[in-house]
Structure 1
Amino acid sequence: MHYLAGADSVHTTAAICDYLVDRATAEDTVTVVAVANENDRTARRDCQEALNVASVRLATVGDVETDVRSGNPADVLLDAVRDVDADEIVIGAHGGDPDATRDLGSTARELLEEADRPVVVVPTPKP
């Protein structure tokens, strides 16, 4: 099984890892893609920290690949799904921003509408 995880913060990544740790095995691959504006050094640093969390928390998974990309998050994740031929997409319900609403975020909504494979939306912990 090949999972594609969309990460944007340490908190969202931890929630995704909580979901995957009971599912992904030593035979599986998890590709974790974080999306940040290439000119925003703080956002890129936050994304790198999120990817580090995934690498550590998913140590028992066969292969964990990480990547920081730029662009519209939903478009970037849909492209990544096709690039790696993922079987399942795992994302947080909304951005990892502590000020985000509890509603389903725009990226999650767009992926649910556009993806041609299963999308799992994990709850994002309250800060």
Structure 2
Amino acid sequence: MHYLVGTASVHTTAAICDYLDERATSDDDATVVAVAPSDDATVRRDAQEALNVAPVRLAALDDVGTELRTGDDPARTLLETATAVDADEILIAAHDGLADESTSVGSTARQLLEMASLPVVVVPVPDA
């Protein structure tokens, strides 16, 4: 099984790694991708920190690759990467939707759930 993990924070990576601890085996692989706008150094730093957690937390897997991608469309970037790495499943974290609580997941999750041709697992992130 090849998992594509979409992350944006250390908390997201940790929650997805917790999920994989119970499911992934030493035969599985993961590609962990963080997408950040090129003009926001703080977001890029946070994304890189999120990627740094993955190889340590997923050390039991056969292979773990990380990629920091720049762009303003995380869903499209994750879908393109899923195709490129021949992923079997996309793992992302649940984030609050709009402040007025009119949605229960963020826009990236919603787009992936609508557009992906492979399973998308939305993992809850415990309160930090």
Do these two structures clear the TM 0.5 threshold for a shared fold by scoring above it? yes
Residues of 2 paired with 1:107 and 1:37: CA distance? 14
- Count of aligned positions: 123
The answer to whether the Cα contact below 8 Å between 1:9 and 1:50 also exists between their aligned partners in 2 is yes
The two structures have a TM-score, normalised by structure 2, of: 0.91
1:119 is aligned to: 120
CA shift at 1:103, angstroms? Answer: 2.4
Could you tell me the percent identity over the aligned residues? 63
Separation of aligned partners in 1, 2:48 and 2:89 = 22
- SS state at 1:38 partner: coil
Equivalence map 1:1-127=2 (5 Å): 1-71=1-71, 72-94=73-95, 103-127=104-128
Q: Which runs of 5+ in 1 are unaligned?
A: none
How many Å separate the matches in 1 of 2:37 and 2:43?
7
AA matched with 1:57: R
Shift of 1:22: 1.5
Q: Is the 8 A contact 1:93 1:104 kept in 2?
A: yes
Which amino acid letter does the alignment assign opposite residue 9 of structure 1? S
RMSD of aligned alpha carbons? 1.5
Cα distance, 1:29 vs. partner? 0.6
What is the one-letter code of the residue matched to 1:63? D
Distance 2:5 2:83 in 1: 13
Relative to the length of structure 1, the TM-score reads: 0.91
SS at match of 1:120: strand
After superposition, the C-alpha distances for 1:69-92 in whole angstroms (9 at most, x for unaligned) are: 012110110111111010000000
Counterparts of 1:66 and 1:24 in 2: how far apart (Å)? 17
CA shift at 1:52, angstroms?
0.9
Task: Note if contact 1:15-1:92 (Cα within 8 Å) is conserved in structure 2.
Answer: yes
